[in-house]
A and B are shown apart, each in its own frame.
Chain A
Amino acid sequence: MADIATNLPSATRLRLGAGAGAGLGLLGFSILIAVAVGAVPVPLATVIDVVLSKLLPGAAATGAQAAIVWEIRFPRALLAALVGGGLGLVGAALQAVTRNPLADPHLLGISSGAAFGAILALLHTGLFLGLLTVPLLAFAGALLAAMLVVGTARLAGATSADRLVLAGVAVSFIVMAGANILIFLGDPRATHTVVFWMLGGLGLAQWSHLIYPAAILGSAGLWLWSKARALNAMTVGDETAATLGLDPARLRLSVFVAGALITGVMVAFSGMIGFVGLMMPHIVRLILGGDNARILPFSALFGAIFLVWADTFARIVMAPEDMPIGVVTGLLGGLFFVWLLGRRA
């Protein structure tokens, strides 16, 4: 009778488990490939040697290749996975609470708010809180933008979810204008770096920094996942969610806060990377259906794999120069959007 202990037939559960295993394996494999390719190609065997030597006590790999693999490419690939995972997850959660399959942190203005906060820290306030200044101000900016979106929708009398995306687009333009003013007023010598950072890039990844996106994605992500069933109810409607014992306005607000937290830290470490949050949940829904208990983790997994490959592409297409990764995701995301339009029409 074990197979009736869940909503799903046992065969489906088995497939899901296998899918998750395969996805994680693919992610690990993608990271190894990403580490191996680049301006200086490193044989896959050497990559694995270096990883094993770092993970196992005893023999320590040394030399230029080991340094490239371990100090530069590995943290970068892991940051790509964390950022992609975070953006995919936030997109899925936002789509559920706004009941709009087009919602994503970029479109809702949350990324712009994070960029505003990060630019404020980079060009104007200085790192008065140390290394955490940029992520903290990015989170504050993301949170402020999220509250502006919710507030604008409420002010416009659209308490329901349908207008939230429109409010998000409006807030996004306003906040982006503010961010551009900050760049305009900033020190011209520093603005080049900031503009380049805004286009999206993972080139500054360091082992010592990875803990922040990892910790935020782990905690806020698990919290969102724990709300998966409530998010399913939210996709039906606010009234139905209320009759199921939820407080829809409060739940929506908490999801926006968790989304701002994740988006803020991801933007702080990687700049503006759009469309991951829009695309991944769509692809996951096409394959796995609409249950958020599945959509949230698999959107994170797909987002992680996608961004590892997008960053690899960005590194090699104009090697030894890095193409901004936002260009790659923007191009793919725009084409995906066109495909989505055609499919719905």
Chain B
Amino acid sequence: MAMQRALAPDPVPDAPHLGVHDLSWGPKGAPDILHDLSFALQRDQVLAVCGPNGAGKSTLLRLIYRYLTPRLGQVLLSGVDLHALPRRETARRVAAVVQEQPTDFALTVREMVSLGRLPHRDGLSGASAHDAEIVAAALRQLDLTRFAETRFDRLSGGERQRVMIARALAQEPELLVLDEPTNHLDIRHQLELLALLRQLGLTVVLTLHDLTLAAEFADRLLVLAGGRKLAEGSPAEILTPETIAHAFNVSARIDRSGGTPRFSFHL
């Protein structure tokens, strides 16, 4: 492992933790659907990507967690191009929770979380004691220990989402990417999940539909519309009636009297 690490390029000291530069992508033989996107994120900050349906949010995330390859531009983690690394090396740095939740194959919660150790080991070599400890710690952190031997498909939607996050944490990533993690969760589970993400001490990029939640939990906001960056900054700077009108094509009223801003929207 030490040798493989040595092969990877050294991090650049002054670089932001996540740097996205002039990123463009489109499907094969079709025009770009993400245009020339750039932004930076400091270590341990939480970035919420917002925007209407079809704005390119999921595409951006897929380029960061390397499911898609950029047509132009780079994704840098501590100054190192993630797409130039061996795949396993990327997987040791970036973990993602996507919206896939399989139920046809009877993996247990512990087996599912153990998948996170995959980029850290070779072929048939069994899980080491170290791997087992990390899996156990991830299960504890998400309060899943009592479900460890339960089959994944027997769990509720919220529990499954927590298993997927535990799996991502077992990857020991520096950067955690989550696509719509609050989808299908009730309000309590949404709040718990976002509070948990804040406590992880990881750099986090996630997509959120709910602007109130984004304002409350994110350090930074990136608003996309039509595959382009509309605005980027702190929630207070970004969530203005003007930006919201521009991005979502609705008029918004913002009540900041109670600390966290409250939004009401009208056509």
Contact = CB atoms under 8 A, between A and B. Distances in A.
Interface in A289-323: 289-291, 293
Contacts of B98: 237, 239-240, 243
B135 interface: yes
A242 interface: yes
B102 A235 contact: yes
Interface string A1-14: 10011110100000
Contact of B87 (A235, A237, A247): A247
Interface residues of A, number: 36
Contacts of A240: 96, 98, 100, 115
A337 to B, nearest CB: 16
A290 B96 CA distance: 22
Interface string B106-122: 11101110111011000
A227 B116 CA distance: 15
Main secondary structure of the interface of B (DSSP, over half): mixed
A5 B87 contact: no
B136 to A, nearest CB: 8
B113 to A, nearest CB: 9
B75 to A, nearest CB: 13
Contacts of A245: 86-92, 118-119
A9 B149 CA distance: 10
A96 to B, nearest CB: 7
Nearest to B136: A4
Contacts of B124: 225-226, 228, 293
A161 to B, nearest CB: 10
- The interface size bin for chain B is 35 or more
A244 interface: yes
B6 to A, nearest CB: 18
A293 B127 CA distance: 12
A246 B87 contact: yes
A290 B127 contact: no
B262 interface: no
Contacts of A230: 118
A232 interface: yes
Interface stretch (B32-40, B60-68, B226-234): B60-68
Interface of A: 1, 4-7, 9, 95-96, 99-101, 225-230, 232-233, 235-240, 242-247, 285, 289-291, 293
